[in-house]
Structure 1
Amino acid sequence: MVIGHIKEIVRHPVKSFHGESVQKTKVMDYGLYGDRSHAFLDETRPEKFLTITQFQGMVRYKARFIGEELLEEYPKVEIITPDGKVFYWGVEELTKEIENKSKRKVSPISYTPLHVPIGAIEEEHIQLVTDASLNKLKEVWGKKEINYQRFRPNLLISLKDKVPFIEEQWFGKRIKIGQNVEIQLKRHCERCMIITVDPDDAERDSSLLKTVVKERNNHFGVYASVMKTGEIHVGDEVLLFD
């Protein structure tokens, strides 16, 4: 059954940096190609990553891959700072800036295209939200706009039938995207303070999290695991099946 189409594809080359919206990408067995493949370890918390929770200004750093999606190695990761400076991943000046602004000692870490451990993503392979649920949450929240990137999803699905939160009834089912890709819907996405941070200016609004807690039992969006890999494109049909 066709339930809609892919409206946005978003990956985050650097964990907790602003994601990049792409027209197409590979789906690997760990999720979208390169998603959360680069990160900063927070040396003040052994074996933990630095995230928006510790330094909310991270969300204003924009990261994107420059070049072809190769399986041997990642393309260069270009990073634009809130001040407009341009760095490539791995330069010491970027690490020093993150340290100075976060007031923490950090170390850059990266993985390979064929192996991004679940630890970098910390949950399942892919997170998705639907346009109907976003619109309903905006209505309940009572604000004029709600930037879907607050929720840091990988896929934004435009539904044929605009039924809010219908995706929460898909657990255990699969969806097929395009020609080959299949993912299985697993569970709710439980929310934290990260959604209170505006991805454009890093300003916080705690009322959004309070709304999600009160109205949605702190759930918004769903997690999925990759069952079949391949390539997906914006506009691909999404089919739901058992």
Structure 2
Amino acid sequence: MSAEVTSLWRHPIKSHGHEAVETVTLNPGQTMPGDRVWAIAHEASKADGSEWVPCANFSRGAKAPQLMAITAKLSGDTVALSHPQRPDLSFQPDTEQDAFLDWVKPLMPADRAASARIVRVPGRGMTDSDFPSVSLCNMASHRAVEQKLGKDLSIRRWRGNIWFNGLPLWEEFEWLGREVQIGQAVLHVRERITRCLATTANPDTGERDADTLAALNSWDHQDFGVYAEVIRGGEVKSGDTVQVL
């Protein structure tokens, strides 16, 4: 049984914006190019840019739902950010940190640790997984959550990289330990993705308006999508076939 890629997404700054792309070239052992290149360490964070650290060290949508309404566009070393409550910002995360910290401050809850610095770990994106992962998400599973909640939901809530259609809901969980070919690339599926409060926020408004976690828990789990590791590089684009090997 095969499926088809419906969309590709990257998130240049972890938890701070999403961007649709038409095609990507995946590389073995790496995240999607341009995905989670930077992350925003908060005041209490131990992240220093020397190595991967868990997501609790970073400002993120689970704690600050307004971050979910940021859109991003990556061009070279420049990121352009938009948010319904903020003026547009174009800056270089590696050299113009202060401009970003001023911009994002009004979006952060007063009772949370403030965003303090931009972190980049050379050679790997700051995925939630402790290995450089690409996340795979099933449109059938998304539609099942929509049906459970009785409302339309944007797929951007899930912050997935590669979306596909044509398989039964939760079929992706059967892929654990298996290899999947997507376009020219081959990925090894390693983990289910356990979800957090970030998915309850509307990516158009930044307001929490859907109990996605309760919907997931009605299936006796809180998971959506899977993390995979690229083991053979190659181009992936919308319309490509997704085939379990």
Aligned partner of residue 227 in structure 1, secondary structure: strand
TM-score, with length taken from structure 1: 0.85
Q: Distance in 1 between matches of 2:121 and 2:235?
A: 20
Q: Distance in 2 between matches of 1:173 and 1:10?
A: 23
Aligned partner of residue 60 in structure 2, secondary structure: coil
Corresponding position of 1:5: 4
Corresponding position of 2:69: 60
RMSD (CA atoms): 1.9
Pairs aligned (count): 225
User: 2:8 is matched by which residue type in structure 1?
Assistant: I
TM-score, with length taken from structure 2: 0.84
Change (3 A) 1:89 1:81: farther
TM superposition shift of 1:62: 1.5
Change (3 A) 1:98 1:220: same
One of 133, 145, 149 as aligned partner of 1:137: 145
Aligned partner of residue 164 in structure 1, secondary structure: coil
User: 2:80 is matched by which residue type in structure 1?
Assistant: E
TM superposition shift of 1:174: 0.9
Q: Distance in 1 between matches of 2:235 and 2:78?
A: 20
Aligned sequence identity (%): 23
Aligned partner of residue 167 in structure 1, secondary structure: helix
Corresponding position of 2:173: 168
Corresponding position of 1:69: none
1:34 and 1:116 in contact (8 A); partners too: no
Aligned partner of residue 220 in structure 1, secondary structure: strand
User: 2:116 is matched by which residue type in structure 1?
Assistant: V
Q: Distance in 1 between matches of 2:194 and 2:3?
A: 24
TM superposition shift of 1:216: 4.1
Unaligned runs of 5+ in 1: 67-73
Structure 1 position 77 matched with structure 2 position 79? yes
The 5 A counterparts of 1:215-226 are 215-226=219-230
TM superposition shift of 1:100: 4.5
Q: Distance in 1 between matches of 2:228 and 2:141?
A: 17
TM superposition shift of 1:26: 2.0
Corresponding position of 1:107: 117
Change (3 A) 1:54 1:213: same
Q: Distance in 1 between matches of 2:143 and 2:115?
A: 40
Change (3 A) 1:216 1:126: farther
Structure 1 position 240 matched with structure 2 position 239? no
Unaligned runs of 5+ in 2: 48-56
2:194 and 2:222 in contact (8 A); partners too: yes
Aligned partner of residue 218 in structure 2, secondary structure: helix
Corresponding position of 1:21: 20
User: 1:58 is matched by which residue type in structure 2?
Assistant: L
Aligned partner of residue 57 in structure 1, secondary structure: helix
Aligned partner of residue 219 in structure 2, secondary structure: helix
1:184 and 1:224 in contact (8 A); partners too: yes
Corresponding position of 2:90: 87
Q: Distance in 1 between matches of 2:230 and 2:175?
A: 15
